Structure 1
Amino acid sequence: MNSSYSNRTWTTSDGTWNATRARTDQTLNSRAIVIDVRTDSAGSITTPTVTGGIEDLTVSTLQVFTGAPGILNVYVNDVLAGDIPYSSSVQTTTISRH
């Protein structure tokens, strides 16, 4: 686990994932990646290409450091698919394919 913000890459059976301005020293549901959203150059997570898009995406969020609650935009194949809210309480959100 690493408490410094940097670029991260990991590979799953679906392909390679990338995160920018990310750290890995926090947990939520036994694992988590922290994305820095404090500035205009906020971090991001990029998944492998998903041919045909997604059916459902369920994400749990928790704001573990100080600051205001906010919204994360989720893009699927470069199209805005929905928003994921975050705050100091755990929130689980599902974005469904339209």
Structure 2
Amino acid sequence: MDWPIGTPVSKATRRLNEDIVDLAADSTALKRENATLRRKLDNAERALAQANEILSIVRDSNSMAALQIAQMEKLAVELKRAAVKHPHQPLSRWVKFGPMAILLASIKDQ
């Protein structure tokens, strides 16, 4: 706030008042921007929490699917082995009474 010597007090007061109004407007704008940024941060944190929850669910589903795939592979190997060992037995008998009958029944019930 450097005014040349000889600046009238009324002009200096007017200019100070304008500066005060500008600072108040800047402060208000900064508060508004801060509130907007805080809202965006809250939304981003909520989205992150939701994404982490979904990721956890997907991981659980993935592990369950991997387990089911492993069971199916084991079932296929056992079925092939039984078919080679007892070619005269019908497949339906093996499915109902074979060593994997319980697993097949549980898959059928799903």
Give the TM-score normalised by the residue count of structure 1: 0.16
| Structure with the higher fraction of residues in strand conformation | 1
Query: Which structure shows the higher helix fraction?
Result: 2
Q: Which has the higher contact order (CA 8 A, sep 6+)?
A: 1
